[in-house]
Structure 1
Amino acid sequence: MSESATFGYRDVDPKEKPRLVRGVFDSVARRYDLMNDLMSAGVHRLWKDAMAARLNPQPGERIVDCAGGTGDMARRYAGLARRAQERRGGADAEVLVIDYNGEMIAAGREKGYPPEVVWAVGDAQRLPLPDASADAYSIAFGIRNVTDVAAALREARRVLKPGGRFLCLEFSRPITEALQKAYDAYSFKVIPAVGEKVTGDREAYQYLVESIRRFPDQRRFAAMIGETGFSRVGYTNFTGGVAALHHGWAV
């Protein structure tokens, strides 16, 4: 681990980042899903639908949804796996939501969830799972909050079975200068202000905007995934690169 970790535009002691990030999500957990809709005008739902379709959950699979928060992705996976099961039979899938923040998990459980979904508080850098125990691993809008991104990628590789699928949806870099300028203006001027009005915590959303800017761009992050040992690594840009879906296979 490096001598410092990023927390927005600040460099902090790596031991301090988990506490700081936990504070951010403790503050916004109850309004997190509403803020996602407001910030993206609902477009995040289309990105997540595309991610779930790409993962293609199947009956009998164990799917790890890391940094799964309120279970937005887990509900999609469970629904797709159940529909596949209705068509051709097979055992129930298990979708394991792992999140470092207990408040986020509590908010997700309160919304209700299908029987395939299991919840656990855990660290993306030290997953509470044995080696080669999962058929698929996903993390949506969570990896930039991890203290050591490379360690989280290694853990994803460790828990996946040979042939297991890795998917990561994260905010990224717009592919044109004009879109980047418009996105920057919206991010820094609008999102913190809306966050303050809806959640009462402007600083939490200022951090989230800054954390996006400091996260590696599409090419650099794809290279990090490949260096971890995943094969056939690639990515798909969404909304002109505002977000990107990275993917790879465990071999």
Structure 2
Amino acid sequence: MQDQVSFGDELVSREEKTRRVGGVFSSVASKYDLMNDLMSGGMHRLWKDRFVAKVAPRAGEHILDMAGGTGDIAFRMAKSGALVTVSDINADMLGVGMERAKKRGVEGLTWQVENAETLSFADASFDAYTIAFGIRNVTDIPSALREAHRVLKRGGRFYCLEFSTSEWPGFGEIYDRYSEHLIPKIGKAVANDEASYRYLVESIRRFPRMSAFKAMIEDAGFRSASVEPILGGLVAIHGGWKI
């Protein structure tokens, strides 16, 4: 049992979780961006804008966008002239991202399949590391955070955008009911995949609260760790520096 981890509300082996998460994102890749709009009422676009403003990418910087999937964060950062490597464990998600980049005429991005827990990049390769709505799907989150720290240059910055638990009285409960009952139904109607969206809802519930995740970032070696709640913490931007 000690080697089991949560896949939503189930306990499975680490290998099984990695395999099943891969299956989830292969299944939803083609409808991923449309579903994000429907599930958040388009608000995910504002959250991502705020996140990238926090990262403050600069021309010539090397940035690793982990779990970059369909490119939403990378497209925003590329406007600054930063050199962005978009990585994801799921080749299907990257395929959608590359097709979107081609249609939009976005050039200069590097696309690479990577496991966040065992990155192939050399030490001190990047000025910044970003991960948006991806860390909760990693099988071994502490390992991924340590890898983020390893591949950053000294003075490099880490930023993570992720769902958490709203601390606004009543709001968290309302969102919990909405996500439990409606999101899987939207997934079934739009993506013909209720099970994958039920897992995504369950994974949000099981993700550590803001203070706990901040402590995990610090344990990985980052300094000046910070957290900026959005909607009381329904979504949060976490940050840290490699000193």
Q: What is the alpha-carbon distance in structure 1 between the residues aligned to residue 167 and residue 95 of structure 2? A: 37
The reply to whether residue 49 of structure 1 matches residue 49 of structure 2 is yes
Equivalent residues, number: 239
What is the alpha-carbon distance in structure 2 between the residues aligned to residue 105 and residue 125 of structure 1?
Answer: 18
8 Å contact kept, 2:101–2:107: no
Deviations 1:121-164 (A, max 9, x none): 11000112000010000000000000000000000000000010
Q: For residues 1-251 of structure 1, what are the structure 2 equivalents within 5 Å?
A: 3-79=3-79, 81-82=80-81, 93-113=82-102, 114-251=106-243
Residue 61 of structure 1 aligns to which amino acid in structure 2?
E
In the alignment, the residues of structure 2 paired with residue 240 and residue 234 of structure 1 have an alpha-carbon distance, to the nearest angstrom, of 15
**Structure 1: distance between partners of 2:123 and 2:226:** 24
Deviation at 1:116, TM superposition (A): 2.4
RMSD after superposition: 0.9
TM-score by length of 1: 0.93
Cα distance, 1:4 vs structure 2: 1.1
User: Structure 1 CA distance, aligned partners of 2:41 and 2:144?
Assistant: 30
Indicate if the aligned counterparts of 2:71 and 2:101 stay in contact, CA closer than 8 A: no
What secondary structure is seen at the aligned counterpart in 2 of 1:165?
Answer: strand
Q: Take 1:191 and 1:115, find their aligned partners in 2: how far apart are those partners?
A: 34
The structural deviation recorded for 1:112 is: 2.0
Q: Secondary structure at the match of 1:128?
A: coil
Q: Report how far residue 176 of structure 1 moved.
A: 2.4
Partners of 2:96 and 2:5 in 1: CA distance: 28
Report sequence identity in percent. 51
Letter in 2 for 1:182: I
Which sits farther off after the overlay, 233-242 or 70-79? 233-242
Inter-partner Cα distance in structure 2 for 1:63 and 1:177: 37
Cα offset for 1:34? 0.3
Secondary structure of 2:188 counterpart: helix
Single out whichever of 113-122 and 33-42 deviates more from structure 2.
113-122
Structure-2 separation of matches of 1:43 and 1:112: 22
Instruction: Give distance in 2, aligned partners of 1:193 and 1:147.
Output: 26
Contact kept in structure 1, 2:26 and 2:90, CA below 8 Å: yes
In 1: Cα distance, 2:155 partner to 2:227 partner: 18
Q: CA deviation at 1:204?
A: 0.3
